[in-house]
Amino acid sequence: MQAVERYSTGAIILHWLIALLLAGEIALGFAMPKDASGFAEYQLHKSIGITILALSLVRLGWRVTHPRPASLEGGATGVLAGAVHLGFYVFMIAMPLTGWALVSTDPLDVPTILYGVVPLPHLPLGEGLNNLAKNAHEWLAWGGVALFVLHVAGALRHHFLLNDNLLARMTFDGKAGRALGAGGAIVAVGLITLFSVGGDAPEESTRPEQAEVALADARVVGEASGDVKDDESEVETPVEEEATPTEDVDEAEAEPETAAAEPSSWAIQPGGSLRFTATNSGAALNGSFANWSGDIAMDPEAPQSAEITIRVDLASATLGDATQDNMLRGGDFFDTASFPQAVWRSTAVRRVSGNRYEADGTLSLKGVSRSQRITFTLQGSGNRRSVQGSATIDRNAFSVGTGSSAEGLAGAVEVSFAFDATS
């Protein structure tokens, strides 16, 4: 075999590191649930995406300052290979930038905290660019997949058909090189396993228990609102009466000391917001609730013992237009005369990582009680915290928006909240 002229060590490390991250990032992008239940996956996706951006800028700098081996091939295929490489550089930088643009212009204004540690500021772009950024992000992803197919096909063609040892140019030389490659592969497999296990395990383990508690809760809520469907007295013993939740909690959590500790109560401070966004024939309808309140008992260090209840005065919903607000109060929407209040009560709260939490609970709205997940972050320390969070609600499940006036209205309604709380 002829002597191989290789890429520099830095170029090889960056090539494979970025290739690995990109493959995982595209898969995660397509796989993550596109609602608030995917909050943790979104945050991970954004963190890896910004890491790819940083590494790609380093790689671009490296490419400009370090010589690369002369091309093996001229002619049309040589030009195609060059075009694919150039396309990859554009992709590696444009992809994270469009992702960053799409979260910066999202009306929901969800904060990004990279790896749960570093807050990522929004880019100064208007909400009007949201759709463009979203489409660009999706189409670029498909463009990346096409480049990948061409690139790998080219590499395999060289390896198997032309037999010109091109692959060796992008691999390390000798024993040390093979050890580095093997080490990299082990780290890669470890990381992929970690991501996939980390993503699925908590959800699965809480499902059955959560469904049970949600059922019990649904009956309690029905009673409290005078909507008595049954009068068995065992319903009187529910979860919320429990001051020391040891029995309920210790099946799921193996931390008796933290579970037994009384979580502190937090008072919601004035000035917070509770907003909702619905999409009507593609256009965003932004509204808010003026009156809502809540009881929060939670130790941020031991969220499993938290008990949170939020009550929303539905008649205080406003879209900023008197006609539409009247419609919201009417029978097709909230029917506030019969169902003045929506109540969300937590059933299982857990920390996703750092200051990010996920809370399963039961939402009772317009006579229907269903499980509903909320995600939120806590900023600050001591006895004052800033809470920001969101949820995606399936309005059809609660029969909100039934008549012809709701035609064109998307089923998913995004709800976001932000407030300060003190203990």
Catalog residues that contact ligand HEM under the rule CB under 6 A: 15, 18-19, 22-23, 25-26, 29-30, 34, 42, 45-46, 49-50, 52, 63, 68, 71, 81, 85, 88-89, 95-96, 99-100, 102-103, 112, 134, 137-138, 141, 148, 151-152, 155, 166-167, 169-170
The residue with its CB nearest to ligand HEM is: 29
Least separation in angstroms between residue 313's CB and ligand HEM is: 30
390, 373 contact by CB (below 8 A):
no
Nearer to ligand HEM, 97 or 216 (CB): 97
Least separation in angstroms between residue 188's CB and ligand HEM is: 12
Residue 196 to residues 21, 31, 192, 237, 387, Cα–Cα distance (Å): 14, 11, 6, 39, 28
What's the rounded Cα separation, in Å, for the pair 394 and 391? 10
Least separation in angstroms between residue 257's CB and ligand HEM is: 38
Nearer to ligand HEM, 34 or 384 (CB): 34
Angle at 232 between CA 228 and CA 234, to 5 degrees: 120
What's the rounded Cα separation, in Å, for the pair 110 and 47? 14
Between strands 265-268 and 412-422, the pairing is antiparallel
Nearer to ligand HEM, 52 or 285 (CB): 52
Nearer to ligand HEM, 22 or 278 (CB): 22
Q: Which of 268, 221, 241 is nearest to 363 (CA)?
A: 221
Least separation in angstroms between residue 273's CB and ligand HEM is: 21
Looking from the CA of 164 toward its CB, the CA atoms found within 13 Å total 12
Least separation in angstroms between residue 389's CB and ligand HEM is: 16
Phi-psi region of 202 (alpha: psi -120 to 50; beta: other; left: phi over 0): alpha
Least separation in angstroms between residue 204's CB and ligand HEM is: 23
Nearer to ligand HEM, 32 or 315 (CB): 32
268, 291 contact by CB (below 8 A):
no
What amino acid is encoded at 400 in this protein? Answer: V
Least separation in angstroms between residue 208's CB and ligand HEM is: 29
Nearer to ligand HEM, 210 or 355 (CB): 355
Nearer to ligand HEM, 314 or 352 (CB): 352
